[in-house]
Amino acid sequence: MTSSILVTKLSFPPTQPDLVPRPQLIERLNNGVRSDRKLTLISASAGFGKTTLISEWMFEPLSERETEVLQLISEGLTNQEIASRLYISLITVKVHTRNINNKLCVSSRTKAVTRARALGILLSN
């Protein structure tokens, strides 16, 4: 017979979809220290979403243009269609998309839209 405490200690917490990659987290923390901003220590057991919480707290706002690009991504437009719609080059769209992904700490357009909706940057459809 296994006690419930033993079961919880032997199981892994579910993976969080919005984790910040450790190198980005360290870079953001270092930037905060160098800019003389006040830092807050967050402490909790494994699996309680500390990394997700910190990523939301340290989130760098999207520019107005990045928000426009993200809105068009959420509408299902391709990079080429976004470039045509906004009268910018395809390379510029790709740069905005990369910046959006970095700022939202995600690795894809789909995850960026999901994260932006969760943060209230984009309205849900």
pTM recorded for the entire structure: 0.57
Quickly tell me which residue has 């500390």 as its tokens. Answer: 50
Cβ neighbourhood burial of 109 (10 Å; 0-12, 13-18, 19+): middle
Return the closest-CA partner of residue 18 out of 112, 120, 123.
Answer: 112
Please give the pLDDT value at position 57: 59
Tokens of 16: 């969080």
Instruction: Give the residue extent of every domain in the chain.
Output: 17-57, 64-119
CATH 3.40.630.30 at 64-119, yes or no = no
pLDDT tens track, the chain, 125 positions: 555 555 555 565 666 666 666 677 777 777 766 666 666 666 666 766 666 666 555 567 899 999 999 999 999 999 999 999 999 999 999 999 999 998 888 899 999 999 888 878 887 76
Rounded Cα distance between 60 and 62, Å, is 7
Question: In residues, how long is the chain?
Answer: 125
